[in-house]
Amino acid sequence: MHFGFSTFFFFGVAISDALDRLLSGGVRVIEFMHEVPHSNEIDSALIAKMKRLLDEGIQFSVHAPFLETNLGSYFEEVRRFSKERVKAAIEFASTIQADPVVVHPGYSLMKEKLQVLNEQARENFLKDLGEVVSFADGLGVRLALENGQMPFFFLYNVHEFPFYGDRVPHLGQPLTLVTRSSPSTKHEKSTRKGPFSKTSASSVSSVFSTFTCIAIEVEGTTTPFCPVLLIWSGY
């Protein structure tokens, strides 16, 4: 299990400066958010820097683009564009030896409203997901499907992970946990089935800001982390 910090929270600064800030805060595992504006800043100098950091023991993962993308859209043009963007992130990950590439699930705004369209969109998503997983396999990159935090995503609940794992071989599963508590909110507890048996929410201050954090009990060991951190399961 690896914990890290995403460049998503540093879109206001250049990506090279964002990496420096994370490193200065002691972060050793970094998720590169392959999204504008940082994806537009990828060049030979950035790649060389990230490879040098890799040699120094820094670990990278890549989060595939999600703005204006939807694997499994009703529209072929959107699906084609979305796959192109995700594949570009996979190629980048291969170049910098990042592991894994995290991809958002497709979604349907007709979910639970128009069953026929919803089922077709989900089948489109499974087909597109299988295609990008195969593409990643060809480059030696592992792909991980992230759960969405809104109910119109095709992977919304943690218990749906096995379905997609069965339908799409070689698919990993990062887990994003979201809590509704705020810095002033008292402890909340909830029970989960499976390897993540218990979660409780509290707030802490870090060198970056104040975040709501989670304590996860995994096989009897309680580990605190923040929602902005990365947590990989199945690797």
pLDDT, tens only, 18-51: 999 999 999 999 999 999 999 999 999 999 999 9
The reported pLDDT for the residue numbered 4 is: 85
Q: Say whether pLDDT at 131 is over 60.
A: yes
Residues 75 and 127 in one domain: yes
* Number of folded domains that form the chain: 2
Residues 83 and 160 in one domain: yes
The reported pLDDT for the residue numbered 147 is: 87
Residues 41 and 144 in one domain: yes
Q: Say whether pLDDT at 204 is over 60.
A: no
Cα–Cα distance, 202 to 155 (Å, whole number): 26
Residue 13 — very low, low, confident or very high, per pLDDT cuts 50/70/90?
very high
Instruction: Give the ranges where 41-143 is alpha helix by DSSP (H).
Output: 44-55, 76-96, 115-138
Residues 113 and 206 in one domain: no
Cα–Cα distance, 16 to 24 (Å, whole number): 12
Which tokens sit at 70?
């939807």
Residues 164 and 191 in one domain: no
Residues 212 and 191 in one domain: yes
The reported pLDDT for the residue numbered 217 is: 34
Residues 110 and 158 in one domain: yes
Which tokens sit at 165?
């794992």
Q: Say whether pLDDT at 11 is over 60.
A: yes
Residues 131 and 215 in one domain: no
Residues 166 and 188 in one domain: no
Sheet with 29-33: list strands edge to edge: 5-6, 29-33, 59-63, 101-103, 143-145, 171-174, 232-233
Residues 219 and 127 in one domain: no
The reported pLDDT for the residue numbered 227 is: 35
Residues 62 and 85 in one domain: yes
pLDDT, tens only, 136-171: 999 999 999 998 888 889 988 878 888 888 899 888
The reported pLDDT for the residue numbered 174 is: 65
Which residue range forms the structural domain that includes residue 159? 5-178+228-233
Can you give the CATH number for the domain in which 132 is found? Answer: 3.20.20.150
pLDDT, tens only, 163-202: 888 899 888 766 554 333 333 333 333 333 333 333 332 2
What pTM did the predictor assign? Answer: 0.75
* More confidently predicted of 226 and 70: 70
pLDDT, tens only, 94-119: 999 999 999 999 998 877 667 778 88
Residues 61 and 166 in one domain: yes
134 SS3 class:
helix
